[in-house]
Amino acid sequence: MLVSLWMVSILLHFSSGCILSSTPEEVTGYTGGSVVLSCSCADVQTQRPALRWIFNPGPNDSILVPYEQQHSRYKDRVQELNSDSPGNLSVLFSQLTVSDSGLYRCEANGNDYNEIRLTVKGKFDHSLQIM
Ligand SMILES: *[C@@H]1O[C@H](CO)[C@@H](O)[C@H](O)[C@H]1NC(C)=O
Ligand SMILES: *[C@@H]1O[C@H](CO)[C@@H](O)[C@H](O)[C@H]1NC(C)=O
């Protein structure tokens, strides 16, 4: 009995499909601009895995995807880019502000994840200081 439960759990683990490939871990954007947060399955997918993108993983996280659970600060700023392949879980993240800087986590089927650190810089950092 225990052995068969163990085998079932192993089968479930392998059949769940998407193993995430490693992506660039550091991304830089500029205020008002946009970035692609990359995430994709290393293995070919026929179906789209259950996808979650969260900011600041931990007790104070906030959800970008799925849209039904999305935090209001991300409204109309996050677009899934899966048109070509169901295994591509990348999103386009727009209208960046400096407070968007931090850690983003892409989760596939709740059992594998990748993290990307985003730094958003002010566009006019030093160039526009008026004397
Ligand atoms: C989460 O947010 C609360 C309220 O802003 C803060 O007091 C707490 O330190 C935060 N916890 C973490 C782990 O950042
Ligand atoms: C996923 O889609 C994005 C946006 O179309 C593209 O830039 C990226 O190269 C794709 N990634 C893979 C692994 O195909």
pTM: 0.82
Query: Residue 77 in 3-state DSSP?
Result: coil
> Residues 63-81: pLDDT tens digits?
999 999 999 999 999 999 9
**For residue 59, which atom of ligand 1 is closest to its CA?**
13
Closest ligand 1 atom number to CA of residue 56: 14
Tell me the CA–centroid distance for residue 23 and ligand 2, in Å: 11
> Cα–Cα distance between 62 and 117 in angstroms, integer?
15
Tell me the domains of the chain and their CATH numbers: 18-123 (2.60.40.10)
Q: State whether the beta carbon of 4 lies less than 6 angstroms from ligand 1.
A: no
Best of 41, 88, 106, 114 to mutate for ligand 2, by most ligand atoms within 8 A of CB?
Answer: 88
Which residue has its alpha carbon closest to ligand 1 atom 8?
60
Q: Express each pLDDT in 7-36 by its tens digit.
A: 555 444 454 589 998 877 899 999 999 999
Eight-state DSSP code of residue 128: T
* Total Cβ atoms within 10 A of residue 88: 17
